[in-house]
Chain A
Amino acid sequence: MLARFAVPHGRVAEARVEEAQIVAQIVRRCASGDAVAWEEIVQRFHRRIYNICYRFAGSADDAQDLTQEVFIKVYRTVSSFDGEKASFNTWVTTVTRNLLVDHFRKTRNDRATDSLDATQGADEDGPALVDRLAGNSESPQTHVESRERREMVHQALQQISPDLREAVILRDLQDMDYREIAQVLKVPEGTVKSRINRGRAELARLLQRTYRQAL
């Protein structure tokens, strides 16, 4: 659980500063029309952006489309990036978050109910979450169990409110610090921490309730 704190805080900060400087140089080259620099940006950030989109939208197809949209928007507006206001990482995450919120609003009516009996998004023929929870204890293979647990958490994550979900994703899945998250979400750091706590607690309650139903 505390793997992210294995590295001392000072070294993490130094590594981040160094990384930010390298990225800032690449972004400057990109803004001046360097195609190689743009490709480097895509290579560096596509995995991170895809994961944010996947965890928020819940579907691999949606995540792929959203990631492409994010990079198209970044490509068009990269010249407007101001490195003094925020890091490029924060800026890209803000663009991503705004697109995700737009996507959430557009697809609100199409979204399924928040029942945990809903099947897996990408695999509609797969077993329901309750069924998979019940079957976990019977599975002898730890690897398979671990994979199924991750999938359950992913499904449960889709059930919590978007405000809490985005805060939890940025903190616990993308390892951003509170200040960056506050910049992205445009809320005070205290609100960010509160949302993160509530999101974690909501997720735990959801999974425990589902687990009890399975039993």
Chain B
Amino acid sequence: MLGETKSGMQCTEFDALLAEAMDGTLTGERRERFEQHKAGCTACGTLFAEVSSGLAWLDEMEDVVPPPMLVHNILAATSGAAQAEAKTEPRTPVWERLRRQAGALFAPVLTPRFGMSMGMAFFSITLVLNMAQIRIRDLTPHNLSHTFYSSQNKLMRYYENMRLVYEIESRVRDLRNASEESERQREERNRRYEKNKNQTQEQNQNSEPDRLEPREHAQWLASLIGNERSIGTNFGSLAKQRRER
């Protein structure tokens, strides 16, 4: 087919002009030769018919509409998500945007089940506070701090008191122990005294004369006194001699 010449045109030339013929830009003498070749060449005539048919099918095609979020996604991928949102979404009032954000934020808790649970919890807490005689107005930061410091003072005082009590108890215990010790020592002393006394009596019995009669005892004492006087006399004579000297 390719090298075949019909109506003054080769099939390769026909193929080259086919696109222009389809576009409608083939005119004049070239158009006539093209048409003649198409009529005379079965292969090229068939090719022309197929190309025309294909073009007809394709001309029915329309642009598809891109997904609505495509531009947003592209801008988010290139310029950043925040910038994309600001530029692609239509402008809405601030309160509307806040309301939407709040709605989205609290959507999980705005359910009947959650509301019932919250109600029960509130009722229970109120009941407990009433039983504990705690008023709601006591729960302000100022009152709470006041309560905290007063409770802390009470606790400190209680602690100090308990320490004093324990100290007193400890002292009493020490005194009791000390008194018991001194009692024990006194008893020990008495025991030793008795023991020494007994021993002394035994020694005295051995060194002193046998039990004397009152008269004999008086004589013994007089002898002792006489000895003392002689000693005094001796001391007196010595003093006299010294003065004389």
In this assembly, does B47 line the interface, its C-beta being within 8 Å of a C-beta of chain A? yes
In this assembly, does A196 line the interface, its C-beta being within 8 Å of a C-beta of chain B? yes
A154 touching B77, Cβ below 8 Å: no
A190/B16 contact (C-beta < 8 A), A46-B74, A200-B55 known:
yes
In this assembly, does A153 line the interface, its C-beta being within 8 Å of a C-beta of chain B? yes
Distance of A52 from chain B, by nearest CB (Å):
10
A153 touching B19, Cβ below 8 Å: no
Contact mask for chain A residues 29-47; partner B; CB cutoff 8 A; 1 contact, 0 none: 0000001101100110011
A153 touching B75, Cβ below 8 Å: no
B61 touching A204, Cβ below 8 Å: no
In this assembly, does B140 line the interface, its C-beta being within 8 Å of a C-beta of chain A? no
Distance of B237 from chain A, by nearest CB (Å):
142
The dominant DSSP class at the A interface is helix
In the complex, what residues of B have CB within 8 A of residue A46's CB? 66, 70-71, 74
In the complex, what residues of B have CB within 8 A of residue A26's CB? none
Contact mask for chain A residues 6-38; partner B; CB cutoff 8 A; 1 contact, 0 none: 000100000000000000000000000001101
Q: How many residues of B contact A (CB 8 A)?
A: 39
B19 touching A196, Cβ below 8 Å: yes
Give the nearest-CB partner of A153 in chain B.
B57
A153 touching B58, Cβ below 8 Å: yes
C-alpha gap A150/B59 in the complex (Å)? 9
Contact mask for chain B residues 216-244; partner A; CB cutoff 8 A; 1 contact, 0 none: 00000000000000000000000000000
In the complex, what residues of A have CB within 8 A of residue B24's CB? 2, 5
In the complex, what residues of A have CB within 8 A of residue B53's CB? 200, 204, 207-208
A67 touching B51, Cβ below 8 Å: no
C-alpha gap A153/B62 in the complex (Å)? 11
In the complex, what residues of B have CB within 8 A of residue A196's CB? 19
Distance of A120 from chain B, by nearest CB (Å):
13
B79 touching A38, Cβ below 8 Å: yes
Contact mask for chain B residues 1-23; partner A; CB cutoff 8 A; 1 contact, 0 none: 00000000000000110111011
A153/B61 contact (C-beta < 8 A), A68-B77, A197-B51, A203-B54 known:
yes
In the complex, what residues of A have CB within 8 A of residue B25's CB? 9
Give the nearest-CB partner of B66 in chain A.
A50
Distance of B75 from chain A, by nearest CB (Å):
6
B57 touching A50, Cβ below 8 Å: no
C-alpha gap A2/B64 in the complex (Å)? 20
